[in-house]
């Protein structure tokens, strides 16, 4: 882009500029003399120029939107051709309460569903299990059986709408319930569109909602990949998730590297199953965090697309260009929201959402202002959805494709993040791969160290968090919080107990026996899981059978 003489002249001119502005820097106010860092504690230069892109190949590393290596966008038309899908992650209390919220969101213009499950469901327990006491509906909706799923999705046409489900260890079971409800509605598996999070590796790395040991858990993930490619072809069977890695305290580079390392591990397991990479790779999707540092986040998404395309093409030999495409959902950063002055969170979410849009996300969830205090109220979730709609309809950022492409700062950050990610790939490989690195606590320690650094910067005022360590006031909370139906748990437990009495228990026992044999062998478990849920076996009963075969996992203690 620039010849050598031009760069030399530019360097000399910049040197003179630095000298002429030095006095201004010395006279700056104390708060402007501090070190300038990103959200990941990386220092930021005063100015970015073509010198920061020396060696950068604009043709091969940047290119055009929709062209390999997809740095600028996976589709040639970007957001201009089709806006991102607007989702709101929702679910609380009973199936009835969450069903009403989903219908409300669809009426308000949400483009798809995104289901949050409560902790007992995430851990494979029925609502009336001893382990579930006190956790009903607190972080999502409680689903213990196909009956609950039928109520949750009542009146929602599953053959026409896209649904994302944030579920991991028991993901295959909840997916089977969803497919069974769709069948009852008259929809075929081929019509179903959506995403199953189903990313068990990040559970061992960051989120810790695992049930079984890593190897059988990976087998279940590959079962869904195989079944989806053959039977539910429009479904994304894994949403490889950096979101929770970032929420645990990682840097942007760690989120990028660890998430893509997980993605490549799923590819290796799929190939080891005997599947052709192009059979399943087009339906792998990603899920990233949108943190506070506007430009660092945009660069992270660009680097992710470029790395994935190169790895799929050059390392795994994928021939189908759709296998090279990184399609991803984004959620604004819950861990950045503050209980202090929660109205400020509307601004944080808007900035984060704008970064996701300019970074080229295909789908977006915006957090609500009250999420540091409670599950979102109806008013708060409406404001969060309207934030996306204002960005789409009023800001103009979707009028042109990749408006920040070619920015010296953005491209330099993108290159820097790619270098850092590839360094992590080498370190993971030196440890023997993803599973051995998990067993050795590598990911966990790296994230913990980054989280400590971030908190220390807040504590010593190197980093400002508005209303937390600066601009503080003690005014009382003024926003309304969500109140759940206090009778919801009782109603759910009574329904579950009635189900166990009224179903064909002989059929349930036979289905669970066949599932046990499949788990002991090597056949795909998905058809057997479908038989179990159609017979109205409960989530806890199904997981109980699998625990007896696979065992459970306890994380080692590192000192």
Q: Is the Cβ–Cβ distance between 39 and 296 less than 8 Å?
A: yes
pLDDT at 27: 55
C-alpha to C-alpha distance for 352 and 342, rounded to whole angstroms: 16
Distance CA 196, CA 177 (A): 12
Determine the pLDDT at residue 20: 64
Quick one: pLDDT at residue 478?
A: 75
Residue 32 contacts by C-beta under 8 Å, 6 or more apart in sequence? Answer: none
Helix (H), strand (E), coil (C) string for 519-532: HHCCCCCHHHHHHH
Judged by phi (left if over 0) then psi (alpha if -120 to 50, else beta), residue 97 lies in alpha
Residue 90 lies in a domain: yes
Instruction: Please check whether residue 251 lies inside any domain of the structure.
Output: yes
Quick one: how far is CA 210 from the chain centroid?
Answer: 17
Q: 140: which DSSP letter?
A: S
Q: How far is CA 208 from the centre of its chain?
A: 15
The answer to the question of residue 23 being in a domain is no
Domain span holding position 415: 58-459
Q: Supply φ then ψ for residue 280, to 5 degrees.
A: -120, -25
The full 3-state SS of 471-483, as one line of letters, equals CCCCCCCCCCCCC
Closest to 370 in 3D by CA, of 400, 397, 348, 338: 338
H/E/C letters for each residue in 7-40? HHHHHHHHHHHHHHHHHHHHCCCHHHHCCCECCC
Burial of 88: CB neighbours in 10 Å, binned 0-12, 13-18, 19+: buried
What is the three-state SS of 170-207? CHHHHHHHHHHHHHHHCCCHHHCEEEECCCCHHHHHHH
Q: Is residue 12 part of a domain?
A: no
Helix axes 505-520, 539-550, angle to 10 degrees: 30
Contact 549, 519 (CB under 8 A): yes
Whole-angstrom Cα distance, residue 34 to residue 92?
A: 44
Low-confidence ranges of the chain (pLDDT < 50): none
Q: In what order do the strands lie in the sheet with 238-241?
A: 235-236, 193-196, 162-166, 112-116, 85-90, 363-365, 328-332, 284-290, 238-241
- CA-based nearest residue to 352, from 336, 371, 370: 336
Cα separation, 482 vs 371, in Å, equals 10
Question: CA 536, 144, 107: angle at the middle one, nearest 5?
Answer: 105
Whether residue 141 lies inside any domain: the answer is yes
For 390, phi then psi, to 5°, come to: -70, -45
As for how many domains the chain has, the answer is 1
Indicate whether 243 belongs to any domain: yes
Residues across the chain:
559
Asked if 155 contacts 105 with a C-beta cutoff of 8 angstroms, the reply is no
Cα-to-chain-centroid distance, residue 35: 31
- Helix (H/G/I), strand (E/B), else coil: 74: coil
CATH number at residue 419: 3.20.20.240
Residue-wise DSSP of 478-524: -S------TTHHHHHHHHHHHHHHHS-HHHHHHHHHHHHHHHHSSS-
For 326, list phi and psi in degrees, rounded to 5: -95, 110
* Residue of 389, 319, 391 lying closest to 359 (CA atoms): 391
Rounded distance, CA 338 to CA 355, Å? 20
Phi, psi of 361 (to 5 degrees): -65, 150
Helix (H) or strand (E) holding 115: strand 112-116
66 and 77 in contact (C-beta within 8 Å)?
A: yes
What's the farthest any 2 CA atoms get from each other in the chain? 86
3-state SS record for 258-271: HHHHHHHHHHHHHH
Whole-structure pTM value: 0.93
End-to-end CA distance of the chain: 51
Region label for 360, one of left (φ > 0), alpha (ψ between -120 and 50) or beta (otherwise): left
Which distant-in-sequence residues (6+ apart) come within 8 Å of 451 by Cβ? 248, 249, 250
Three-state SS for 291-351 is CCCHHHHHHHHHHHHHHHHHHHHHHCCCCCHHHHCCCEEEEECHHHCCCCCCCHHHHHHHH
* 256 is a domain residue: yes
* DSSP assignment letter at 117: B
Domain membership flag for residue 96 = yes
CB 225 within 8 A of CB 238: yes
Q: How far is the C-alpha of 384 from the C-alpha of 101, rounded, in Å? A: 14
For residues 291 and 333, the answer to whether their CB atoms sit within 8 Å is: yes
């Amino acid at each position: 882009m620039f010849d050598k003489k031009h760069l030399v002249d530019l360097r000399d001119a910049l040197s003179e500029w630095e000298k002429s502005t030095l006095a201004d820097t010395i006279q700056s106010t104390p708060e402007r003399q501090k070190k300038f860092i990103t959200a990941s504690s990386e220092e930021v230069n005063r100015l970015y120029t073509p010198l920061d892109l020396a060696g950068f190949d604009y043709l091969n590393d940047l290119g055009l939107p929709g062209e390999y290596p997809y740095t600028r966008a996976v589709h040639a038309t970007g957001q201009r051709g089709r806006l991102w899908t607007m989702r709101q992650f929702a679910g609380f209390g009973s199936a009835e309460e969450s069903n009403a919220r989903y219908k409300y969101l669809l009426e308000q213009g949400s483009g798809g569903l995104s289901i949050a499950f409560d902790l007992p469901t995430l851990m494979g327990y029925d609502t009336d299990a001893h382990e579930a006491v006190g956790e009903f509906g607190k972080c999502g909706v409680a689903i213990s059986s196909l009956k609950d799923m039928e109520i949750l999705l009542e009146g929602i046409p599953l053959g026409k709408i896209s649904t994302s489900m944030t579920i991991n260890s028991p993901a295959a079971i909840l997916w089977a319930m969803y497919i069974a409800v769709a069948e009852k509605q008259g929809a075929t598996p081929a019509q179903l569109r959506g995403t199953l999070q189903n990313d068990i590796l990040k559970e061992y790395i960051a989120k810790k909602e695992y049930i079984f040991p890593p190897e059988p858990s990976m087998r279940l993930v590959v079962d869904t990949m195989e079944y989806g490619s053959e039977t539910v072809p429009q479904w994304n069977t894994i949403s490889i998730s950096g979101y929770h890695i970032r929420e645990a305290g990682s840097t942007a580079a760690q989120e990028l590297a660890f998430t893509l390392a997980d993605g490549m591990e799923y590819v290796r397991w799929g190939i080891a199953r005997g599947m052709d990479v192009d059979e399943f790779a087009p339906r792998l999707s990603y899920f990233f965090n949108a943190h506070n540092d506007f430009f660092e986040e945009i660069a992270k998404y660009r680097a992710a697309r470029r790395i994935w395309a190169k790895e799929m093409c050059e390392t795994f030999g994928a021939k189908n260009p759709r296998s090279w495409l990184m399609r991803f959902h984004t959620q604004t950063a819950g861990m950045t929201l503050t209980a202090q002055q929660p109205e400020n969170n509307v601004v944080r979410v808007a900035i984060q959402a704008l970064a996701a849009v300019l970074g080229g996300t295909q789908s977006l969830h915006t957090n609500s202002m009250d999420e540091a205090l409670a599950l979102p109220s109806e008013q708060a979730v409406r404001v969060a959805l309207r934030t996306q709609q204002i960005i789409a309809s009023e800001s103009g950022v979707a009028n042109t494709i990749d408006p920040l492409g070619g920015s010296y700062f953005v491209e330099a950050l993108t290159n820097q993040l790619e270098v850092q990610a590839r360094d992590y790939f080498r370190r993971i490989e030196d440890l023997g791969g993803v599973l051995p690195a998990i067993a050795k606590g590598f990911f966990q320690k790296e994230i913990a160290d980054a989280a400590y650094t971030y908190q220390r910067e807040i504590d010593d005022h190197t980093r400002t968090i508005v209303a937390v360590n600066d601009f503080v006031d003690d005014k009382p909370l003024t926003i309304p919080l969500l109140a759940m139906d206090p009778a919801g748990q009782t109603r759910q437990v009574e329904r579950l107990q009635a189900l166990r009495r009224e179903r064909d228990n002989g059929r349930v026992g036979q289905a669970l026996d066949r599932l046990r044999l499949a788990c002991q062998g090597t056949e795909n478990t998905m058809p057997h899981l479908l038989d179990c849920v159609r017979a109205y076996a409960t989530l806890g009963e199904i997981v109980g059978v699998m625990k007896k075969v696979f065992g459970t996992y306890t994380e080692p203690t590192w000192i």
